[in-house]
């Protein structure tokens, strides 16, 4: 089988690019030929030229990765649904319950709003949303299959897009086959935030919660360490609101956490597994975007959660997105997003009973084995085969 993959790929620094790279390698290991006609293409006019030039009759299925605020893959699928109506089109939707959430280009008179200060661009997106949603639904209903990473995400996508149940499939985020490493000694207790480091990830909540927990249990101050690890995309870290990393460092000083926090910035991919396994568990304090809540509910998951399972480490996570579903097997616990006291309570429980980290790690290891990319790729292969067989003749 030959598929055309429409997706960001490394060196793009996004979770979806990393996902697409692992996904394509796993498919190739099964003997599936994966072509990437838009690889490295960021210019809309160049993308259009490539779409016109590519021989679509040479592939059996087109698959896209949708999400992360990108528009190119959505626009390419829209084009193909019109000019190649017999072609089976599938996509993994990383940010359900919507496909793209906002339009790539506004129409007049909303275009001038985009040039004005906040909150005018957000108002433009909100005013254009009925048209955006209509375009999303039109494409979604033409798709052979839409895949989500969680059941909650699939249910929300199906309802919001008005899809038939057979159009939506759930295939959990794949995991790399990482050799098991026992937990480090439980003292000091090592906590890890892993992911891109920019506003909206709730990192400030984690620092505040750790400060409150250590104030309530001062005897643990020298027995707990937190590592902040991950990527620092410049366009997100250095924004109009100021240098976010400098702001975090200032907050750490204000909370008297300088002796408790370590940094591992721009972590090389080769060091991710060893870094995670050098810790006892991961803490993901994500908050859902208040801006996006006007447009719908984001019910995706996180690549960091996938890494935790692959490395056999549990998680403490907020209940944002579909995280509660992801830790429902006993591989961690959730708290109400944005509730610093609730997060502090979770940390206190762990400090007083660190054996919980072992229990969560055991469950995470089981999940990691079940979701290895080799097994995930087989499920996609079966889905692609079914979509190809159902192709109108």
User: How does pLDDT run across 177-209, given as a tens digit for each residue?
Assistant: 999 999 999 999 999 999 989 888 999 999 999
Question: 150 and 287: one domain?
Answer: no
Mean pLDDT of 7-17: 92
Instruction: With respect to residue 180, please indicate whether it lies within any of the assigned structural domains.
Output: no
Tell me how far apart the terminal alpha carbons of the chain are, to the nearest angstrom. 18
Structure-token pair, residue 112: 């001038």
Residue 196: the pLDDT is 87
Question: 352 and 287: one domain?
Answer: yes
**Number of domains comprising the chain:** 2
Instruction: With respect to residue 226, please indicate whether it lies within any of the assigned structural domains.
Output: yes
Instruction: With respect to residue 181, please indicate whether it lies within any of the assigned structural domains.
Output: no
Residue 360: the pLDDT is 98
Residue 237: the pLDDT is 41
If DSSP codes are grouped into helix, strand and coil, which group holds residue 73? helix
Question: 301 and 325: one domain?
Answer: yes
Distances (CA, A) of 56 to 40, 92, 165, 384: 19, 20, 28, 16
Question: 14 and 47: one domain?
Answer: yes
Instruction: With respect to residue 92, please indicate whether it lies within any of the assigned structural domains.
Output: yes
Question: 37 and 87: one domain?
Answer: yes
Question: 363 and 263: one domain?
Answer: yes
Question: 140 and 277: one domain?
Answer: no
Mean pLDDT of 127-147: 96
Q: Which residue matches tokens 């060196």?
A: 11
Question: 85 and 194: one domain?
Answer: no
Please name the helix (run of DSSP H) or strand (run of DSSP E) that holds residue 251, with its range, or none.
helix 244-254
Instruction: With respect to residue 184, please indicate whether it lies within any of the assigned structural domains.
Output: no
Strands (E), the chain: 2-6, 33-35, 61-66, 89-93, 145-148, 168-170, 189-194, 224-230, 238-239, 242-243, 261-265, 281-284, 314-318, 332-335
Instruction: With respect to residue 81, please indicate whether it lies within any of the assigned structural domains.
Output: yes
Instruction: With respect to residue 86, please indicate whether it lies within any of the assigned structural domains.
Output: yes
CA Rg, the chain, in Å?
22
Mean pLDDT of 57-79: 96
18 pLDDT tier (thresholds 50, 70, 90): very high
If DSSP codes are grouped into helix, strand and coil, which group holds residue 79? helix
Question: 152 and 216: one domain?
Answer: no
Question: 289 and 274: one domain?
Answer: yes
Query: Which residues span the domain enclosing 239?
Result: 189-370
Q: Which residue in 227, 66, 74, 184 sits closest to 139, CA to CA?
A: 74
Question: 170 and 319: one domain?
Answer: no
Q: What share of the chain in percent tops pLDDT 90?
A: 83
Contact between residue 317 and residue 201 where contact means Cβ atoms under 8 Å apart: no
pTM: 0.92
Instruction: With respect to residue 344, please indicate whether it lies within any of the assigned structural domains.
Output: yes
Residues 6+ apart with CB under 8 A from 257: 207, 210, 211, 214, 226
If DSSP codes are grouped into helix, strand and coil, which group holds residue 43? coil
User: How does pLDDT run across 287-342, given as a tens digit for each residue?
Assistant: 988 777 889 999 999 999 999 999 999 999 999 999 999 999 999 999 999 999 99
Residue 101: the pLDDT is 93
**Which CATH number goes with the domain that contains 54?**
3.40.50.2000
Question: 155 and 8: one domain?
Answer: yes
Distance of CA 289 to the CA centre of its chain: 14
Residue 113: the pLDDT is 73
User: Is 70 exceeded by the pLDDT of residue 235?
Assistant: no
Residue 264: the pLDDT is 96
Lowest mean pLDDT among 18-22, 31-35, 41-45, 367-371: 41-45
236 pLDDT tier (thresholds 50, 70, 90): very low
Residue 240: the pLDDT is 52
Structure-token pair, residue 67: 């999400």
* Separation of alpha carbons 227 and 272, rounded Å: 13
Q: What share of the chain in percent tops pLDDT 70?
A: 97
118 pLDDT tier (thresholds 50, 70, 90): confident
What are the helix (H) ranges across 255-339? Answer: 272-277, 303-310, 323-326
Residue 393: the pLDDT is 64
* Separation of alpha carbons 380 and 92, rounded Å: 10
């Amino acid at each position: 089988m030959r598929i055309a993959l429409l997706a960001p790929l490394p060196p793009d620094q996004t979770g979806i690019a990393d996902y697409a790279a692992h996904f394509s390698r796993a498919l190739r290991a099964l003997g599936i030929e994966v072509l990437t006609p838009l690889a490295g293409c960021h210019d809309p006019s160049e993308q259009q030229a490539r779409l016109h030039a590519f021989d679509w009759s040479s592939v059996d299925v087109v698959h896209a990765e949708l999400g992360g605020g990108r528009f190119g893959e959505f626009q390419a699928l829209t084009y193909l649904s019109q000019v190649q109506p017999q072609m089976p089109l599938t996509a993994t939707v990383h940010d359900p319950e919507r496909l793209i959430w906002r339009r790539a280009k506004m129409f007049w008179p909303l275009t001038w709003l985009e040039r004005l200060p906040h909150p005018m661009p957000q108002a433009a997106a909100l005013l254009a949303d009925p048209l955006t949603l209509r375009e999303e639904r039109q494409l979604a209903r033409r798709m052979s299959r839409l895949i989500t990473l969680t059941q909650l995400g699939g249910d929300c996508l199906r309802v919001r897009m008005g899809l038939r149940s057979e159009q939506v499939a759930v295939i959990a985020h794949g995991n790399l086959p990482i050799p098991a490493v026992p937990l480090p000694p439980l003292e000091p207790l090592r906590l890890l935030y892993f992911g891109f480091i920019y506003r909206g990830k709730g990192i400030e909540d984690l620092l505040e919660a750790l400060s409150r927990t250590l104030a309530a249990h001062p005897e643990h101050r020298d027995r707990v360490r937190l590592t902040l690890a991950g990527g620092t995309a410049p366009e997100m870290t250095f924004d109009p609101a100021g240098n976010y990393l400098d702001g975090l460092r200032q907050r750490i000083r204000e909370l008297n956490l300088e002796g408790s926090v370590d940094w591992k910035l721009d972590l090389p991919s080769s060091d991710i597994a060893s870094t995670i396994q050098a810790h006892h568990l991961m803490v993901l304090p994500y908050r859902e975007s208040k801006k996006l809540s006007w447009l719908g509910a984001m019910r995706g998951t996180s690549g960091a959660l996938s890494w935790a399972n692959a490395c056999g480490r549990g998680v403490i996570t907020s209940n944002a997105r579909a995280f509660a579903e992801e830790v429902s097997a006993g591989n961690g616990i959730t708290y109400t997003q944005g509730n610093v006291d609730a997060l502090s309570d979770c940390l206190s429980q762990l400090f007083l009973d660190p054996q919980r980290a072992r229990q969560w790690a055991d469950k995470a290891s089981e999940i990691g084995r079940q979701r290895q990319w080799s097994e995930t790729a087989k499920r996609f292969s079966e889905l692609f085969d079914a979509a190809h067989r159902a192709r109108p003749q």
